Amino acid sequence: MMSRSNEGRGPLYRVYINRLRRSLDPDSVPKHVAMMIDGNRRWARQLGFDSPADGHRAGAAKMREFLEWCDEVGVQVVSLYLLSNDNVTKRDSREIADLIEIIAELADELSRYRDWKVQHVGSTAGLPDGLVAVLDAAQERTKHNPGMHVNLAVGYGGRREIVDAVRSIIVAYDQEGGSLEELAASLTPETIGEHLYTGGQPDPDLVIRTSGEQRLSDFLLWQSAHSEFYFVEALGPDLREVDFLRAIRDYASRNRRFGS
């Protein structure tokens, strides 16, 4: 069951949250927010838990709350970075097994909540069949939902996404009988964008990362070319609604130039 993000908070906190909400201009809310939740393992260590899985479960619960916050201020698309393809190959097998179970539970739950449309973005290579089946089912179950679009980046890598996009363009062009010279002449950024995992979606306006880290970690490399970034010191499970609303307020105050 989805938890409410501010249970246990004092009345002054609620007053401040409501004031922040009222201060937001609906027209200034980003259409697409990407979230890099980081610090789950550090959070577990600091609290003395025996397993990183405790941190990952707390992080997944926080992502449920985060999606509610986004929905309530009018964000249309949210992308959550849950598991990179580097994680799959480089992390301890026990931790990855726990993460896969947690992600499967999260994907299934989100596909049954509100009217959100859930989509898997990433490669299925290296992912266990059970997780792929859950992600496919979540996507199929929600494909006609009219609500907020939720991208679950699982088995995701930005460089791999670009390579996959170019490959799909080449295959399609070859099937149409075109030459390599014609393909090279016709290739544009827009063409590549259409073949990304997020093809047809707006690029992220705002990218948020927790735990104080300030790097992209191979997340939405192409799509975030003109995104705004906001870094939060809080570890992933400790993220508060006030942190999110401050990020939205900060985004609204920026002058986006898009390279001009």
Catalytic residue numbers, as ranges: 38, 87
Q: Check: CB of residue 73 under 8 Å from CB of residue 23.
A: no
Q: Give CA–CA dist 119/138, Å, rounded.
A: 8
User: 69 by DSSP, 3-state: which?
Assistant: helix
Q: Collapsing DSSP states into helix, strand and coil, what is residue 84?
A: strand
Residue with tokens 């179950």: 141
CB 54 within 8 A of CB 97: no
DSSP conformation letters of 191-256:
HHHHTSTTTTSPPPSEEEE-TT----TTSSTTTTTT-EEEE--S-GGG--HHHHHHHHHHHHHS--
